[in-house]
Structure 1
Amino acid sequence: MAVVIVGTLDTKGEEIAFARSVIESQGVDTHLVDVGVMGDPEIEPDTGAAEVAEAGGTSLEQLREDGDRGAAMEAMGEGAAAVAERLHEEGVLDGVLGLGGSGNTSIATAAMRALPVGVPKFMVSTVASGDTEPYVGSRDIAMLYSVADIEGLNQLSRRVISNAALGIVGMVENEPDVEVPDRPTVALTMFGVTTPCVQRAREVLEEKGYETIVFHATGTGGRAMEALVEEGLVDGVLDVTTTEWADELVGGNLNAGPHRLEAAGEAGIPQVVSTGALDMVNFGPRESIPEEFEGRHFHVHNPQVTLMRTTPEENAELGEILAGKLNGATGPTAMVLPLGGVSMLDVEGEDFHDPEADAALFDALRANLDDGVELIEREEDINDEAFAAALAEKFDEYMREAGAGPEA
């Protein structure tokens, strides 16, 4: 067993040496990766900063000569990611520990994000109490706030670093006693306003023998799903909730980036897609919404979340975008339209019910989907049990036709 410690040994040598001593006192080996740029390491690394810089496409001398801290952090992050991948492939890396301020947090978590889900990843950081999304991304990274700056050893820093060191030891030494069923895996996307649909579809799929993984469509959830599809850990996708594209288009808080809805198509695995929650764009508290949206139709979901109804024009553009993504798929693909409403708020009598906006979305999909994408239209709203069951049945049909269904 070995823990890789990623740190700037030119400034945090004392603290990293302490973390190493705690880990090795538990009988676990360590491998130090130096990502410090400006000075000589205070303790001897196993992988030096020059090697990390080279893996990042540059040289340590060049980074020092340029003196651009931002560029150096980016290059060392890329290099640390490449080194971590190599060490993991070689069987040297069983877990990763990082500790530092914002600079090393950026570098060390870049290395962590390059590793598969399930590999233990623990970051002690001065910025762990703030917005951690840029560091965690869509990976299973544990972040521990250092409380005080990581500058020297004292009664507080020793305790925090010891806890982290013992935590990573516990992670790498103990195999979780989790049964992994030999069943085809399907990824589903869910939002609060599409929960009944996903719950019913999941029940149907599990009764048929599928393993299901549900992703919350909050931006990071969509990115996580796409990443797992790219890694080959998912056999098919039931993409009920494509709402992240509304945030990407309009400027909401929960966008998943411009490549959402591409991974399954590129992998050629079966996918059944719907228009869940495309009636809304997500923002924070009502007072935080940009002035450009004043006069729009809002729904205060809770004190921290305000939803904005998408317009017919935005829905038409969303239909074109979704069609373009699905038209590029290389595997069996269906788009299933819930003509009765795309979310809990979009049914008759609810706040976001807007037949004109829905019609713009559906018409754009009808006009732009290629013949290679199966278009299915149903009269129910998305949370109707019959609609949910139809999604699951279509997905199962595709999987069995591909020879990838349960007991196929």
Structure 2
Amino acid sequence: MTKTILVAGTYDTKDDELNYLCGVIAGQGGRVLMMDVSVLGDPSRPTDISKHDVAEAGGSSIQQAIDSGDENTAMQIMARGSAAKALELYRDGKIDAVIVLGGTMGTDLALDLCSALPLGVPKYIVSTVSFSPLLPPDRLPADVQMILWAGGLYGLNSICKASLSQAAGAVLGAARAVEPPKRDRPLIGMTSFGKTVLRYMVALKPALEARGFEVAVFHATGMGGRAFESLAAQGAFAAVMDFAPQEVSNHLFGGLSAGADRMTNAGRAGIPQLVAPGCYDLVDFVGWQDVPPKLAGKETHAHNRLLTSAVLDAGERREVARAICDKLAGAAAPVTLVLPLQGCNEWDRAGAPLHDAEGLAAFCDEIHARCPDNVTLVELDAHINDAAFADKVLEIFDGWVRDGIVRTG
């Protein structure tokens, strides 16, 4: 089946590049739908969705964008409109994938446009700032693909054609090959890390699948938590098992944040939550960069050349406990917090290199003191990686299913 790709960008300033991209897609047997997100100029030929269409979809007009006298304000008008228009086109079955081309202005818009589309819709951003620290994790869609637009700031050349032609093939190939998420089984969202440090998923995933659920496990190192929160906000989960909320600690102390809203969207969406504090005592940061100021002088564990973790002291662990309790207090559905009293990551077991009995006791004490009324606290005399933890989780979950708290269809 022929696939239609939405090709968006400022057709006034990047007309040649965008038309080249469209030509490669068409040459490979795809269809294109061109969306102009310019403000001041006009394309060399009419596009399928004009800049006026985009501005109107954003509840404004090109003249209002011009009259603002501010390029940032004008581009935000176009960002709102392009996001609304792209979602409308997708829901109407007129596009199968999207690719957006831009520098910093176009990339700012592209993040909003791609975020408006559901998981499973191929979305590509070709940008001069791909992979840049300019891009905050909370702006990145869960399944976006980015390609660095090398040598493409102004005009066509053989260097940027190499990037653009690959991007054209990538988005068209993705549209042809994608297997969109199925909705035939209720989905459980779970957070974790690799089996070295947290292992409950090894027992829980097959047990939940045997009960008729699908399980998606998110790697909670910033971007994974961002994807988890994005889907939770969309109401994609029947329940969540948020057992690795370390990104809350990261956000507090300058580590790999998943955004200020980490551990809040499931509650806002009315999704029941089973929670445990896996790796709450660690703060992850980029191993090849300088230690964040808040973590200077702390004991660290180098997980690999990319990722290093700093160990929090007892007072800081109390701060994390208060933050977790505050976030759960706003939940609009049942929440159970399972607190493993013997440790919350493999390195924190008695006798392990990062074990801190005083720190663990301080955290547990603060959780006990601050646990909000809407949260059921279950204290478990076990380690988070013990079989007893997974067994207790399944016991609680099965009760929720029997009581109709977790949707099964």
Normalising to structure 1: TM-score of the pair?
Answer: 0.90
Deviation at 1:115, TM superposition (A): 0.5
User: Aligned to 2:236, what secondary structure does the other structure show?
Assistant: coil
Deviation at 1:58, TM superposition (A): 4.3
Q: Tell me which residue corresponds to 2:224.
A: 221
Amino acid at match of 2:387: E
Correspondence 1:123 to 2:125: yes
Q: Tell me which residue corresponds to 1:297.
A: 299
Select which of 346, 351, 354 maps to 1:352.
354
User: Aligned to 1:88, what secondary structure does the other structure show?
Assistant: helix
Q: Tell me which residue corresponds to 2:110.
A: 108
- Measured in 1, the distance between the counterparts of 2:378 and 2:93 equals 48
Q: Tell me which residue corresponds to 1:257.
A: 259
- Measured in 1, the distance between the counterparts of 2:131 and 2:293 equals 29
Can you list the C-alpha shifts for 1:116-168, whole angstroms capped at 9, x where unaligned? Answer: 01111122222235448548713211222233215333444444323322332
Contact 2:253 2:295 in 1 (8 A): no
- Measured in 1, the distance between the counterparts of 2:342 and 2:159 equals 58
Can you list the C-alpha shifts for 1:275-301, whole angstroms capped at 9, x where unaligned? Answer: 110111112237601345333232233
- Measured in 1, the distance between the counterparts of 2:81 and 2:182 equals 33
Correspondence 1:196 to 2:199: yes
Contact 1:279 1:352 in 2 (8 A): no
Normalising to structure 2: TM-score of the pair?
Answer: 0.90
Correspondence 1:375 to 2:377: yes
Q: Tell me which residue corresponds to 2:155.
A: 152
Q: Tell me which residue corresponds to 2:208.
A: 205
Contact 2:314 2:362 in 1 (8 A): yes
Deviation at 1:242, TM superposition (A): 0.9
Q: Tell me which residue corresponds to 2:171.
A: 168
Which deviates more, 110-119 or 318-327? Answer: 318-327
Select which of 45, 50, 53 maps to 2:52.
50
User: Aligned to 1:147, what secondary structure does the other structure show?
Assistant: coil
Q: Tell me which residue corresponds to 2:392.
A: 390
- Measured in 2, the distance between the counterparts of 1:15 and 1:355 equals 60
Q: Tell me which residue corresponds to 2:66.
A: 64
Deviation at 1:404, TM superposition (A): 4.2
Identity across matched positions, percent: 37
Q: Please give the root-mean-square deviation of Cα atoms over the aligned residues, in Å.
A: 2.6
Residue-pair matches, total = 405
User: Aligned to 1:188, what secondary structure does the other structure show?
Assistant: strand
Q: Tell me which residue corresponds to 2:241.
A: 238
Contact 1:243 1:275 in 2 (8 A): yes
- Measured in 2, the distance between the counterparts of 1:95 and 1:67 equals 33
| Structure 1 unmatched runs, 5+ | none
- Measured in 1, the distance between the counterparts of 2:29 and 2:295 equals 58
Contact 2:198 2:346 in 1 (8 A): no
Deviation at 1:378, TM superposition (A): 0.9
Q: Tell me which residue corresponds to 1:80.
A: 82
Going from structure 1 to structure 2, the CA distance change for 1:143 and 1:132 (only over 3 Å counts) comes to farther
Q: Tell me which residue corresponds to 1:10.
A: 12
Select which of 335, 338, 343 maps to 2:337.
335
Runs (4+) of structure 1 exceeding 4 A deviation are 178-181, 403-406
